[in-house]
Structure 1
Amino acid sequence: MKIGIGLPVDDPDVLHEWAVHADAGPFSTLGLLDRLVWHNPEPLVTLAALAGVTSRIRLQTEVLLAPLRGTALLAKQVATLDRLSRGRFTLGLGIGGRADDHAAAGVDLRNRGRRLDEQLVRMRELWTGATPIGPALASPGGPELLFGAFRPAALARVARFGDGLLCAAPPSLAGDLFRAVERDWAEHGRPGRPRLVAQVNVALGPDCVADDARTAMGAYYGFTGTADRMLAGLLTTPERVRDEVRAYADLGADEVVLYCWATDVTQVDRMADLVS
C-alpha cells in the first residue's frame, strides 16, 4: 500500500518545505487540488516549482478541472510538467461543479462533461500527432491519467481514457465505486487492472492543527451544503488513520493520499512515523 500526501492550499509559501520533507520520507505522491475562484495556488504552476525541489516523489493533481482550461495550452502545460518532473507527474482530472468557477472561465457548466471528453481526445492527438505540442513527453503517450468521479458516466472515463480512479469517498462507499470501475475496465477489454487511489482528510498534531484544518475545510466545502459531513470525516488520530488506510487496502486500493488542510509542516513527520 502506497501512502501519499495532499498539500494544504491556504499558504503557498509553506509548500516548498512540505515538498522537501515529503520527498525525504516514505511517501509516494504529493497531491494538490484545483479551484479557480479561490485563494489556492494554481496546481500545474505549483507542481512545476515543486518538481525542482524534489527528486523521487510523484506529483499529482487532485483533481485538475480541465473544462476550465483551453485544451491546447493545457496539453502543453501537462507535457512541460511531465518533462520537468522526469515522468513523475500524474494527471488527475475532474469536471468540477462550482458555478462561480465556470462563470469566471467563461465555460458553460452544463456542458462540462462533454467538454472534458473532447479535451481528452484532443490532448492525446496533440501529444502524439504529426505536429505535436511539446516539449516531448517523458512518459510516452502522456502521463498517468486518473479521474475523480462518483457518477456512472464519470466513472466510465477511467476505462475509456485513463489509468485509474481517484476516489474521495469513505470506505463505506468506495467499494462500490472501485467495483464499477473494474467492471467497466473488463468490459472495455483493458489489460491488467485500473489503479485505485483513495483520498482521506487528516490533521495530525495538537488541537490547533485540527482546528485549523476544520476552518479551512469548512470554508472550502461551504458551497456544497455538506461541510458538516465532510468535517465529521476528518481523521485526527493515528488510530483512525490506520483504520481507514486498512479499510481501503481491504477494498483493493493501491494508494491512499492523506490530504492535509492545516499548514503546519510538522504533520509530515507525524505521518512519516505513522507510515513507518
Structure 2
Amino acid sequence: MNVGLGLPISDPPVLLDWARSADAGPFSTLALLDRLVYDNPEPLVTLAALVGAAGRIRVQTEVLLAPLRQPALMAKQVATLDRLSGGRLTLGIGLGARRDDYKAAGIDTHGRGARLDEIMTDMRRIWSGEPYGEEIGPIGPAPTRHGGPEVLFGAFAPAAIQRIARFGDGLLCASPMADMDRLFRAAEQAWRSAGRTGRPKLVAQLNAALGPDETIEEARGHIRRYYSGPQYMNLPANYTDTAVQRMLTTAGEVRDALNRLTDIGADEIIFYCWSADIAQIDRFAETLA
C-alpha cells in the first residue's frame, strides 16, 4: 500500500519544509486541495515549488477544480508541471461543491459535468500534440507521458464514475470509508464496461491528524472552517460536523484504515493533514513502520 500525505493549507511557507521532510520518509505522494474563494495556496503554483524542494516524492492535486479554468491554459500549466517534476505529477480533477467558487470565476454551476467532459477532451487532444483547432497549432510543452499525466477523478455520482473510464486513470475517493468499497467496485465495473484493459487506480483520502491535543484541535478547527457556510451543493446540512467527527486522530485508527482499505483493493491512501504541525510527518512514518 502506498501512503501519501495531504498538505495543510493554513501556512503556505511551511510547505517547503513539509515537502523536504516527507521526501525523506516512506511516503509516496504529497497532495494539495483546490478552492478559489478561500485562503488556500493555488495548487499548481505551489506544487511547482514543491517539486523543486523534493526530488523523489510525487505531487497530486486533490482535486483541481477544472471547470473554473480555461482548458488550453490549464493544459499548458499541467504539462509544464509534469515536465518540471520529471513525470511525478498526478492530476486529481473534479467539479468541486461550492457555489461561491463558481460565482467568483464567472462560471454557471449548471452543466458543469458536461463542461468537465469538454475540458478533458480538449486537454487530452492538447497533450497528444494535436492542433488546438482550426488555424491554431499545437500547444506545448509535451507532457512526460504521451497523452498527459496520470489523471484521477474525484467522483461520487454515477456520471462521475463513468467519466473515469472515458478520460482517466483511476478514482480518487474522499467518501466515508463505509462507502469506499461500493465506489471502488463501481469504478472497476465502469472500466470493464468501457473495454479498458487492466484496472483503474484506486486511491482513498481520509482526514487525519496525529499529535498532541493542540495539533488535533487545530486540525479540527481548520476542517470546520473549510466546510462551513451555506454555499455547498448536494451536501447534507450536517456534513461539517460529520467531517470533523470522522477525522482519524490515533495511530490505531490510521493502521485500522490501512488494513481495511488494503482489503478492499486500494492502491494508495492519502491522509490529509489539516494541522501545520510538521512533526506529524514523523508520527505518520512511525505509525507506518
Superposition TM-score, scaled by structure 1 size: 0.98
1:234 Cα offset (Å): 0.7
**Which residue matches 2:134?**
none
Partner of 2:20: 20
Task: Report Cα offsets for 1:207-234 as digits up to 9, x if no partner.
Answer: 0000000000000011353111001111
RMSD: 0.8
Instruction: Give the structure 2 partner of residue 142 of structure 1.
Output: 148
Question: Which residue of 233, 253, 277 corresponds with 1:240?
Answer: 253
Residue type of the partner of 2:15?
Answer: L
In structure 1, how many angstroms separate the alpha carbons of the residues matched to 2:173 and 2:92? 11
Judge conservation of contact 2:125–2:147 (CA < 8 Å) in 1: no
Partner of 1:207 in structure 2?
213
Q: What SS does the corresponding residue of 1:5 show, helix, strand or coil?
A: strand
* 1:128-167 equivalence runs, <5 A: 128=128, 129-130=130-131, 131-167=137-173
Looking at structure 1, the residues matched to 122 and 173 of structure 2 have their Cα atoms a distance apart, in angstroms, of 25
2:227 is the alignment partner of 1:227: no
Q: Which residue of 1 aligns with 2:117?
A: 117
- Please give the alpha-carbon distance, in whole angstroms, between the structure 2 residues aligned to 1:12 and 1:241: 25
Q: Is the 8 A contact 1:216 1:262 kept in 2?
A: yes
In the aligned structure 2, how far is the partner of 1:94 from the partner of 1:168?
12
Q: Distance in 2 between matches of 1:243 and 1:170?
A: 14
CA distance in 1, matches of 2:138, 2:85: 19
* The 10-residue stretch of structure 1 (168-177 or 79-88) with the greater mean CA deviation from structure 2: 168-177
Displacement of 1:132 after TM fit?
A: 2.5
* Amino acid across the alignment from 1:253: A
Corresponding pairs, count: 276
Is contact 2:3–2:271 with CA below 8 Å preserved after alignment?
A: yes
Q: How do residues 22-37 of structure 1 correspond to structure 2 at under 5 angstroms?
A: 22-37=22-37
Aligned partners of 2:204 and 2:266 also within 8 Å: yes
Work out whether residues 209 and 215 of structure 2, in 8 Å CA contact, stay in contact via their aligned partners in 1.
yes
Deviations 1:126-181 (A, max 9, x none): 12214321112112210000000100001111111100000001221101100100
Contact conserved, 2:171 with 2:200, CA < 8 A, in 1? yes
C-alpha distance in 2, partners of 1:137/1:118?
A: 20
Kept in 2, the 8 Å contact 1:97–1:109? The answer is: no
Per the alignment, residue 44 of structure 1 pairs with 44
Q: Which residue of 1 aligns with 2:275?
A: 262
Q: Is the 8 A contact 1:125 1:132 kept in 2?
A: no
CA positional deviation for 1:112: 1.1
- Which residue pairs with 2:62 in the alignment? 62
| Structure 1 unaligned blocks of 5 or more | none
SS of 1:199's equivalent?
strand
What is the SS of the residue equivalent to 1:62?
strand
Report the 3-state secondary structure (helix = DSSP H, G, I; strand = E; otherwise coil) of the residue aligned with 1:110: coil
The superposition leaves residues 1-45 of structure 1 with CA deviations (integer Å, 9 ceiling, x where unpaired) of 000000001110110000000000000000000000000000000
Q: Which moved more, 1:126-135 or 1:68-77?
A: 126-135
Stretches (4+) displaced over 2 A: none
Shift, 1:105, TM fit: 0.3
Q: Which amino acid aligns with 1:39?
A: D
The one-letter amino acid paired with 2:279 is: T
